[in-house]
Amino acid sequence: MAEIRTATNNFSPTLKIGQGGFGTVYKGQLQDGTLVAVKRAGKSMHDKILGREFLSEVQALSKVEHLNLVKCYGYLQQGDERIIVVEYVANRTLREHLDCFNGNVLSLASRLDIAIDVAHAITYLHTYTDHPIIHRDIKSSNILLTEKLRAKVADFGFARLAADVESGQTHVSTQVKGTAGYLDPEYLKTYQLTEKSDVYSFGISLVELVTGRRPIESKRVLDERVTARWAMNKFIDGQVITVLDPKLQESDANELVLEKILELALLCVNGSRKNRPTMKRCVEVLWNIRKEYKDLLD
């Protein structure tokens, strides 16, 4: 605890970088100079739900190591303090970049690279860990960007271990957790969670990447409030270019990429989970789109 207090200058308000359901996040520096994000649970963490979230985040983070996932350095549970120390990612969230917080517009090529990074991260969680992990809260504000615009998926507070297929399980029955606009409707209806719920959220994030809009835009006209539905309708009607983020340039290459990404997103947000692709398949499709895009630009 003394080490944590030193790293955060005794939880100085000037080092506060975030606030969430879990508690407060501070920027800190370990003795060896490593910059970290210190997540300090709110005192209400004694309530059972948040206690479970702390444990699920710690259990998930302790099992994973991947270039596109936020690295966990350790955690501490002492008295009424619960703290997780993770890698500090300096360049804010994807959502802030889509909102142009620094005045710079993310190019479509960068957005495509970010989509590939996120797809790699989720594929790793689903396929390459000892026991598959379902993230359950894939969204643009949980995707952090490095200075070089590489994406790192963060926030494992809602993560769950997937069903044990070897013992014949097909899903995990659980209370619905996640964020409105990104939530798999089949999971909402049945309380049955599978890896395909992450695929749905990823599909929504793809639409967000190319349109620049949030999943739910309550101030827009009725037809445009649910971004994915609006974008898919335009895609089906052959008016795909009208959904491109107005901050991006209209060009033949951009229109082709937009069309291919929306085609993948449409599969990901299919109402029936059995018709959605795996994340591994999403990676393959995105790599092909990237290759085609580069060929067009060369």
Please report the sign of the dihedral spanned by the C-alpha atoms of residue 155, residue 161, residue 162, residue 166: positive
Burial 131-162 (b: 16+ CB within 10 A, else e): ebbbbbbbbbbbbbbeeebbbbbbbbbbbbbb
The 3-state DSSP composition of the chain as helix, strand, coil percent (nearest 5) reads 45, 15, 35
Distance in angstroms (rounded) separating the CA atoms of residues 118 and 66: 11
Point out the annotated binding site for ATP: 43
Q: What radius of gyration, in Å, describes the C-alpha atoms of the chain? A: 20
Name the catalytic one among 137, 184, 198, 245.
137
- Residue 157: which of 18, 257, 60 has the closest Cα? 60
Helices 252-268 and 227-236, packing angle to 10 deg = 120
Active site residue 252: no
Distance in angstroms (rounded) separating the CA atoms of residues 122 and 156: 12
Distances (CA, A) of 231 to 163, 211, 242, 266: 33, 8, 9, 9
Is 18 within 8 Å of 24 (Cβ atoms)? yes
Rounded to the nearest 5°, which phi and psi values hold at 234?
A: -65, -40
Catalytic residue ranges: 137
